[in-house]
Chain A
Amino acid sequence: MAKEMIKGNVAVAEAAVRAGLVSYFGYPITPQTELLEYLSARMPELGRAFVQAESELGAINMVYGAACTGLRTMSSSSSPGVSLMTEGISYIYGTEVPAVLVDVMRGGPGLGNIAPSQADYTQIVHGGGHGEYHLIVLAPSSVQEAIDLTGEAFDLAEKYRTLAVILMDGFLGQMMEPCELPPFKEVNMESPDYAVAPKPGRERRFLTSINIDPPAQEKLNIHQMTKWEEITKNEVRYKGYYLEDAEYVVVGFGTCGRIALTAVREAREQGIKVGLLRPVSLSPYPTEVLNELADRAKGFLVVEMNNGQMLDDVVSIVARRAPVHFYGRMGGMVPYPDEIGRAINDMIEAKAANDYVGRDDWLAQMREMIGQGA
């Protein structure tokens, strides 16, 4: 199939359509809006459901309703909108119905700005809503990967009756790259057994997230943890670059991961044995490969567009077997490869102890850079 140049936001939207999306519910917010705009034409054209909701609260609860029919549904938003959606996210998880959410992150907190950011890693990967839950979180770093993961997100959401999130940022949403769209999947209008989709002769169903009886709730919690164990076993995704002989390892996801690739290549050209681990599934996290690398690497450098949120996960997995350095930009700033390159050199020169964690030094460096003093 011929390649096309498509913007990340639009590519995800069309990939969802081709994955057999039955309904979409959303609310406009930059830098995600093209996704909604595209589907506002595309879905009706195909006779499928599209609603521009009154709010993100409305949108996610429409998704919740549609998910209760077990048919493919999704929403998309950006950071402040996703905060509003956390209510529905918790309910969808609690009810164990399948849905896909695309979060095109932007700078925060508060209204922040519309520039690319990864500041919602913790919110999406480690919770955000109330109660205990684990979402499947996939972080593409190219338009093609965003397309592929969108299709996978629907399959995973259905397979495990859960919510799968495509976590990307404004950079990827706005970027165009040549890519190949998958062929059209037939739209499945046959609701699964557990779903509400009444018809004559079929016994009645109800779906709820209530378990007023604590032992019943605990039993469900254990069931959900068991399911998560299964997901952790089966669904880890990552990409490694130059890791075979790597003495140093850069860890970055999404946009930051691909920017780091340029820095790693440049360092390789200087003879530095550095590799890149780019987690694709942030949840479940590629713990095993990082664990293996921690046994042999001399140092890690975590790069993120936030204040070191994934850093905490890397630190806990590396467990003082090697120093873990950090370089991040915040507030919608995107690092250039040169900055990451410098951070690689700094890591090597520092010869830090194995229990070193780089956040404090990074913050001091940032203060100096923007002229705020300590």
Chain B
Amino acid sequence: MTDTDVKLVYDRPVGLAPRTTHYCPGCTHGVAHRLIAEVLEEMGELRNTIGVAPVGCAVFAYNYFDFDFVEAAHGRAPAMATGIKRTLPDRLVFTYQGDGDLASMGMGETVAAAARGEQITIFFLNNTNYGMTGGQMAPTTLPGQRTSSSPLGRDVETQGYPIRTAEMLSTLDGASYVVRRSLGDARGIRNAKKAIRTAFEIQKAGLGFSMVEMLSICPTNWGLSTPKSREWLKEHMLPYYPVGDFKVSEEAERIMKEVK
């Protein structure tokens, strides 16, 4: 063996357990998990954080994150996070939820937590369908989009319109930081990480409710390859769900500027 200069450029963050996930190939849950784990590690908060897992694809998230976690009933993660945060106000508390869990079953709990200005952070993974149960229509399914429960394409006459969660929550005074990012490309992922860091910093500073919505791909249920899924996200999701900062309170803005 010859001496070679070896530089480690990629490793598992300590916030993730050395375990293989059950997520499908190409799924962006793995990306989101990694970003959260990296941020908490960088902030030195891994042993000061409690995560709340949803019902949906991320139901086993507590197996992959290597710090304290609880598993909520479907949609109730923001309520459960409220109970934890109010009891242990000096810990960082976040929920990790998909579109069915957050925007359908748990919209009430989500809106109420935001309106109360609950000092929690929600990470909302929007992939326009119910992944775990096999790709049914979600509140986020786009008009005309085919799913296993809207096989002819979402008919807005009978099945209504998608919910733009970030925009909706941005109208609430209790919300301090509500943004949407895309996990569809490298630049989007870098921006998402920055938003995750900002949201946690805002919580740490006690500035109120924060949510980072992350546009995600679901190659399995979309019936597309991973590259094609990324294209589909750009082509169909971004026009309906634009990336942006929908609510940044004055104090949050100060923190946002500090986060590199």
Answer whether A and B touch in the complex at a CB cut-off of 8 Å.
yes
Chain A positions within 8 Å of B, measured between CB atoms, are 22-23, 25, 49, 51, 53-55, 57-59, 61-69, 71, 73, 87-88, 91, 95, 196-202, 204-210
In the complex, which of the residues A59, A200, A208 contacts B70, with contact meaning CB atoms closer than 8 Å? A208
Beta-carbon contact of B87 and A22 below 8 Å? yes
Q: For the complex, is B67 an interface residue (Cβ under 8 Å from A)?
A: yes
By beta carbon, the residue of chain A nearest B15 is A204
CB neighbours of B63 from chain A (8 A): 206
> In the assembly, what is the distance between CA of A291 and CA of B87, in Å?
44
> In the assembly, what is the distance between CA of A69 and CA of B88, in Å?
8
In the complex, which of the residues B49, B69, B87, B88 contacts A206, with contact meaning CB atoms closer than 8 Å? B69
Beta-carbon contact of A23 and B62 below 8 Å? no
Q: A196-B50, A208-B62 are contacts. A25–B73 as well, Cβ < 8 Å?
A: no
Beta-carbon contact of A64 and B76 below 8 Å? yes
CB neighbours of B80 from chain A (8 A): 61-62, 64-65, 68
Interface centre among A51, A61, A87 (most CB of B within 10 A): A61
Beta-carbon contact of B76 and A57 below 8 Å? yes
> In the assembly, what is the distance between CA of A64 and CA of B53, in Å?
13
In the complex, which of the residues A58, A95, A196 contacts B84, with contact meaning CB atoms closer than 8 Å? A196
CB neighbours of A205 from chain B (8 A): 68-69
In the complex, which of the residues B59, B67, B83 contacts A198, with contact meaning CB atoms closer than 8 Å? B67
Q: A61-B73, A65-B81, A196-B50 are contacts. A23–B112 as well, Cβ < 8 Å?
A: no
Beta-carbon contact of B73 and A68 below 8 Å? no
What is the interface residue range for chain B against chain A? 35 or more
**How many Å from the CB of A68 to the closest CB on chain B?**
5
By beta carbon, the residue of chain B nearest A72 is B87
In the complex, which of the residues A53, A64, A66, A204 contacts B68, with contact meaning CB atoms closer than 8 Å? A204
Interface pairs A-B: 6 shortest CB-CB: A65-B83, A54-B112, A65-B80, A61-B79, A62-B83, A208-B71
Interface centre among A55, A62, A64 (most CB of B within 10 A): A62
Q: For the complex, is B108 an interface residue (Cβ under 8 Å from A)?
A: yes
> In the assembly, what is the distance between CA of A88 and CA of B170, in Å?
29
> In the assembly, what is the distance between CA of A54 and CA of B109, in Å?
7
> In the assembly, what is the distance between CA of A73 and CA of B80, in Å?
13
CB neighbours of A71 from chain B (8 A): 87
Beta-carbon contact of A198 and B87 below 8 Å? no
> In the assembly, what is the distance between CA of A197 and CA of B50, in Å?
8
Beta-carbon contact of B76 and A196 below 8 Å? no
18 inter-chain pairs at a CB distance below 8 angstroms, sorted by A residue, are: A49-B86, A53-B82, A53-B112, A54-B111, A58-B108, A62-B82, A64-B80, A65-B52, A65-B70, A65-B87, A66-B84, A66-B87, A69-B84, A196-B69, A198-B67, A198-B91, A200-B48, A209-B71
Beta-carbon contact of B86 and A51 below 8 Å? yes
By beta carbon, the residue of chain B nearest A55 is B108
In the complex, which of the residues B69, B73, B82 contacts A51, with contact meaning CB atoms closer than 8 Å? B82
Q: For the complex, is B66 an interface residue (Cβ under 8 Å from A)?
A: yes
Beta-carbon contact of B88 and A88 below 8 Å? no
> In the assembly, what is the distance between CA of A53 and CA of B84, in Å?
14
Per-residue A-contact encoding for B28-65, CB less than 8 Å = 1, 0 else: 00000000000000000001111011000001101100
